[in-house]
Chains A and B, each alone.
Chain A
Amino acid sequence: DAKTTQPTSMDCAEGRAANLPCNHSTISGNEYVYWYRQIHSQGPQYIIHGLKNNETNEMASLIITEDRKSSTLILPHATLRDTAVYYCIVRESFGNEKLTFGTGTRLTIIP
């Protein structure tokens, strides 16, 4: 699986958009970008995934650059409940289902 690089920590004001970057410069053509988050020792929670097109769901948006070497997770209106560690994971969807978690970004939403 391709390695990812994320900032160790970020702050965001409540109500503002939180933009979490991820670099995955060694990503291969059949690897997807996944985002999970973990709220204070709870089980990780799936957020969104994408291959090369931008994706949006009820939780977040995922913007992947054209060269696929980086991506940004956007939480459009951050709330205090979004305070968590966010993990960017790159993996194939076929043949290798395990998730390889890095250190993630600790996002703190400030009131």
Chain B
Amino acid sequence: EAGVTQSPTHLIKTRGQQATLRCSPISGHTSVYWYQQALGLGLQFLLWYDEGEERNRGNFPPRFSGRQFPNYSSELNVNALELEDSALYLCASSFRTGYNEQFFGPGTRLTVL
């Protein structure tokens, strides 16, 4: 069974540009979560989508946004990129019931120059 997939693997942008990251969950999972992990730091929760709706967001500015499509795949958009946005962006998926494990994709490494 295919795991969570993310694209692209690496993304290099310059300050002020926009970045779009994509995630496809495990088949049957309806919840998608986005996390930011800066080098040497822990996971910071960004966004949670379920059934096409944003259920919660972490403590990030509005220039971090996203959406979930009818097939449960998801997109994370980061506008007006700043140098400190350079990080590994991880997507995870789970069943909706809320007590289940999350499974992570390999991540997108975003570098902002």
A, B: real partners: no
